[in-house]
Structure 1
Amino acid sequence: MRTAAVVGTGLIGTSVALALARREVGVHLLDVDESAARTAAALGAGTVGPPAAPVDIAVLAVPPGCVGEVLAAQQAKGLARSYTDVASVKAGPEQDALKLADPSCYIGGHPMAGRELSGPLAASATLFEGRSWVLTPTGATGTDTLNRALEVVALCAAVPVVMESCAHDRAVALVSHTPHLVAALMAARLEHMSDDASHLAGQGLRDVTRIAGGDPRLWGDILDGNAGAVADVLEALAVDLGTAVAALRGLAGDDADARAEGMVRVSDLLDRGRRGRGRVAGKHGQKPTRCTPVHVLIGDQAGELARLLATVADLDVNVEEVSIDHSPAERSGLVELVVEASAAVRMARRLTEFGWEVQRPQPRADPTPQAVVPPPKAGAERRRVPLVTGTA
């Protein structure tokens, strides 16, 4: 592949352009917002403006509801020999593409990567490395178009996954679109929280609500394009929420039977959640390995995290995940380095030798069912922990 065009220079479009340009593909950048295209060009993503002759492939990085219109307009201009898109909904754009004068030149696409940030300045040439990239060819898709799309995926160091468009939309409703909506619903509960509650917020809350920071306009378009499939998942979730509410009401009361039943239901929901979490694939789609987090205390000054990661790199230990939780009261942070359980103790010992303050590694919970503490027997006294206020 020698030439490509990217229509839409937001996070995903600019990231695609950066990845292609890094592999010496001549990329032309098009955007109704010329300032965004110029920003992408300044980052090294390509040159602003249409090509003099048709490029090998055009990547349409526009919202799902705009794909059909943009695709028809660019095909009429003869922008490219083949076209693909990166929208997170596939059935609607596919239906629009089949109405084209030449549907053989189009194939749907969706790289399963992104960030809660938006715009070209958030882009990265490595955003897609090792990530799944769905392609949804139709019966009309030509072989040349399929091969060009596969080459784009390869140049972006992603992993191609071929699916039917409707199967894709059902899958992403479960693993992407509904989780985003649920994160937004949880974050909405925080809109008017007290300062006291805000000061108690930790990494768990940030993990749950992180993706709620996405662009509401873009996500509104995504949910509009996949509304039925998302509603199906949300409806099933609502049943579990109703069960959880009823169970917790039982636990909050004084009726021993209701409390016993409530504990059984809550335990079942938590157990199902742990088993479901265990189904999420690890890196590169592999089965998750048993991992252990190693916690390291670092100072809150410039370069401290980089210094820690440089030390870790010298230990020859594969780190699965990295996160940092800042202390609200101290100028420090707690870095969590998730590694294979067999390497955790050795890594902790070596970091300590290098002068880092390391907490004792604790294995993550195994996804297999565990015994549940039974509820109190009928007539047993309910112990309440008093709330202590003031200072010592």
Structure 2
Amino acid sequence: MKLETVLILGTGLVGTSIGLALRQRGVTVLLADRDLGAVRLAREMGAGQEWHSGEQVDLAIIAVPPDHVATELRGLQRREAARFYTDVSSVKAMPIARAVELGCDMGAYVASHPMAGREKAGPGAARADLFLGRPWALCATEATRPEAKRAVLELIELCGANPVEVSAEEHDRAVALVSHAPHVAASAVAARLSDASDVALGLAGQGVRDVTRIAGSDPGLWLGILSGNAAPVAEVLEAVSRDLTEAAAALRALAEGDRSAGPDVTRLLKRGVAGHGRIPGKHGGPAAAYGVVQVVIGDRPGQLARLFQVCDEVGVNVEDVRLEHAPGLPLGLAEVSVQPDAVAVLQEALHERGWQVP
């Protein structure tokens, strides 16, 4: 089928981003949300037009917290709002089970989940390119009709994402490991900073910013996510807790002069290196080993553009970039990741153009 009309119920970050992506592909998008202000902002951003009850569409996308998915699905199906339905919440087994309990038409519904997001929430943070190249889980069941699955696959394609077919249970175990438990762990580290001294905070570097970046997300939203996937998340956190407890015991022993405890800490650090190395790279598959060029950069408009212009002039592709700001100074350090054989080329070009390259 060809998706021509879509209803998005829930105009937060994900829902509005889907609307923006679909509008760029010529799809007619209708928007609904209990927060009329969110609908208005999403509409002003170009994500679609307000939906009026009674209008029917090809596909309804339910972009609400996991514990509300089944109720909203039942309500939309009773109004015959769409031919097919999907949701984009980050938990899958619980909404599917509740939808069955509520007597929803499971043949017309396919649970899904785009693995994309930002620390910021709400329609104002939405982006049309949020899903480009990102995995999008598709959790069809035995009851799913083939045409419903095809409709959701087309949605994923229109948004520029890559479909990953997986069972709801396997999906929930996977996201507990790669998304939900890491969020709790980041929050636990960030919580230690709430009572930190000014001296400690003044010494904070990029490492603690990296570890705690996702801890700034909406606690209410995350409570709903974690509640819907509580058991798998708890299992991961218990395993992490065991590792941390063993590391703490080894460090206590080291502090008391027992040098034999050192290998216990080293083993955890080595496992961490191995696990980090398995995270897929930007093109999927094993992460590539890039070279890094460090450049001192001024904190003023146009500096990144100038830096990228140098890369363009010498034919060096920027694989990644990160910025580390110098507290109290109008400058920072840009770390530009490039192919290893391009490091010397870029360093020389930057030196010639007056950049400070440590």
| Structure 2 CA distance for partners of 1:229 and 1:276, relative to 1, 3 Å | same
Equivalent residue, structure 1, for 2:357: 358
Equivalent residue, structure 2, for 1:321: 320
Equivalent residue, structure 2, for 1:290: 289
Equivalent residue, structure 2, for 1:67: 69
1:52 positional shift: 5.2
Secondary structure in 2 aligned to 1:358?
Answer: coil
| Structure 2 CA distance for partners of 1:251 and 1:304, relative to 1, 3 Å | same
Equivalent residue, structure 2, for 1:103: 106
CA distance in 1, matches of 2:314, 2:150: 41
Equivalent pair of 1:128/1:156 in contact (CA under 8 Å): yes
Equivalent pair of 2:54/2:79 in contact (CA under 8 Å): no
Equivalent residue, structure 1, for 2:139: 136
Q: Which runs of 5+ in 2 are unaligned?
A: none
CA distance in 2, matches of 1:316, 1:133: 33
Question: Which of 197, 207, 210 is residue 200 of structure 2 equivalent to?
Answer: 197
CA distance in 1, matches of 2:70, 2:354: 58
| Structure 2 CA distance for partners of 1:52 and 1:70, relative to 1, 3 Å | closer
Equivalent residue, structure 2, for 1:127: 130
Secondary structure in 1 aligned to 2:60?
Answer: strand
Equivalent pair of 1:6/1:27 in contact (CA under 8 Å): yes
CA distance in 1, matches of 2:110, 2:22: 18
Once the two structures are superposed, residues 220-251 of structure 1 have per-residue CA deviations (whole angstroms, 9 ceiling, x without a partner) of: 00100011001101111111111101110111
| Structure 2 CA distance for partners of 1:68 and 1:263, relative to 1, 3 Å | same
1:163 aligns with 2:162: no
Equivalent residue, structure 1, for 2:10: 8
Equivalent residue, structure 2, for 1:374: none
TM-score normalized by the length of structure 1: 0.88
Equivalent residue, structure 2, for 1:274: 273
> Residues 147-226 of structure 1 correspond to what in structure 2 (within 5 A)?
147-226=150-229
Equivalent residue, structure 1, for 2:83: 81
CA distance in 2, matches of 1:352, 1:151: 49
Equivalent pair of 1:6/1:59 in contact (CA under 8 Å): yes
1:119 positional shift: 0.6
1:66 positional shift: 0.7
Equivalent pair of 1:97/1:106 in contact (CA under 8 Å): no
Amino acid at match of 1:211: I
CA distance in 2, matches of 1:318, 1:86: 34
Q: Which runs of 5+ in 1 are unaligned?
A: 360-392
Equivalent pair of 1:28/1:51 in contact (CA under 8 Å): no
Secondary structure in 2 aligned to 1:209?
Answer: helix
1:136 positional shift: 0.2
1:335 aligns with 2:340: no
1:351 positional shift: 2.6
Amino acid at match of 1:137: A
Question: Which of 3, 7, 31 is residue 29 of structure 1 equivalent to?
Answer: 31
In terms of mean alpha carbon deviation, does 327-336 or 220-229 score higher? 327-336
CA distance in 1, matches of 2:259, 2:84: 62
CA distance in 1, matches of 2:308, 2:15: 30
Equivalent residue, structure 2, for 1:386: none
Amino acid at match of 2:129: T
- Percent of counterpart pairs with the same letter? 48
Number of residue-to-residue matches in the alignment: 355
Larger Cα Rg: Structure 1 or Structure 2? Answer: 1
Once the two structures are superposed, residues 169-210 of structure 1 have per-residue CA deviations (whole angstroms, 9 ceiling, x without a partner) of: 000000000000000000000001111111110111100000
Secondary structure in 1 aligned to 2:46?
Answer: coil
CA distance in 2, matches of 1:57, 1:354: 54
Equivalent pair of 1:31/1:37 in contact (CA under 8 Å): yes
Secondary structure in 1 aligned to 2:107?
Answer: helix
Once the two structures are superposed, residues 241-293 of structure 1 have per-residue CA deviations (whole angstroms, 9 ceiling, x without a partner) of: 11101110111113xxx222x11111111111101100111113221111122
| Structure 2 CA distance for partners of 1:51 and 1:130, relative to 1, 3 Å | farther
CA distance in 1, matches of 2:104, 2:271: 49
Secondary structure in 2 aligned to 1:117?
Answer: coil
> Residues 376-391 of structure 1 correspond to what in structure 2 (within 5 A)?
none
Equivalent residue, structure 1, for 2:232: 229
CA distance in 2, matches of 1:97, 1:348: 58
Equivalent pair of 2:29/2:47 in contact (CA under 8 Å): yes
Which 4+ runs in 1 deviate beyond 6 A?
A: none
Amino acid at match of 1:32: R
CA distance in 2, matches of 1:15, 1:241: 38
TM-score normalized by the length of structure 2: 0.96
Equivalent pair of 1:131/1:284 in contact (CA under 8 Å): no
Equivalent pair of 1:132/1:159 in contact (CA under 8 Å): yes
1:339 positional shift: 1.9
CA distance in 2, matches of 1:250, 1:203: 29
Secondary structure in 1 aligned to 2:319?
Answer: strand
